[in-house]
């Protein structure tokens, strides 16, 4: 099960450690979580892990393409494991609800930015703030 992790790590000259396994599993379990939340989750599951290890590990895992991060608030970033299909995030400024949207919804925009500006967007990191249908009225 952690053979995928092991091989990805080794392929880039990294080692497989229990901390790295635990942190990846925590991210997978949590969905969208800040470094702090990941730390808390790991600690419930097993022995203690240090904050700095969490930060360093999330960085490594992101380099390997196993997790990604997005900025869903003005506070800490949130990490999520990389799944089959790419998606971006909508965040309601009123109720803070987060919705994941398939990247294809932005195909038109991606095409325009590519053609007109030669810009290749990284949708997986994109967060669109706004107002959801439930909150259209609320001030």
3-state secondary structure of 15: coil
Residue 21 or 87: the one with the smaller Cβ distance to DNA is: 21
DSSP string, 53-96: HHHHHHHHHHHTTSEEEE--SSSS-EEEE--SS-EEEEEETTT-
For residues 69 and 63, what is the distance between their CA atoms, to the nearest angstrom?
A: 11
Q: 49, 98 in Cβ contact below 8 A?
A: no
Stretch that binds a copy of itself, among 2-10, 19-27, 31-39, 93-101 (CB under 8 A): 93-101
Q: Which of 113, 137, 138, 139 binds a copy of itself (CB under 8 A)?
A: 113
Between residue 42 and residue 101, which ones bind DNA under the rule CB under 7 A? Answer: 48-53, 55-57, 59-60, 75-77
Residues that bind a copy of itself (CB under 8 A): 71, 74, 77, 90, 92-93, 99, 101, 105-106, 108-109, 112-113, 116-122, 125-126, 128-133, 136
């Amino acid at each position: 099960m952690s053979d995928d992790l092991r091989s990805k790590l080794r392929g880039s000259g990294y080692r497989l450690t229990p901390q790295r396994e635990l942190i990846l599993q925590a991210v997978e379990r949590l969905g969208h979580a800040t470094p702090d939340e990941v730390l808390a989750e790991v600690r419930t599951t097993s022995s203690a892990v240090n904050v700095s290890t969490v930060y360093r590990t999330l960085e490594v895992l992101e380099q390997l393409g196993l997790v990604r991060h997005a900025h869903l608030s003005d506070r800490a970033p949130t990490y999520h494991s990389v799944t089959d299909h790419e998606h971006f995030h909508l965040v309601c400024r009123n109720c803070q609800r987060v919705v994941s949207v398939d990247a294809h919804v932005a195909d038109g925009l991606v095409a325009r930015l590519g053609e007109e500006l030669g810009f290749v967007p990284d949708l997986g990191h994109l967060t669109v703030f706004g107002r959801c249908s439930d909150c259209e009225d609320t001030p």
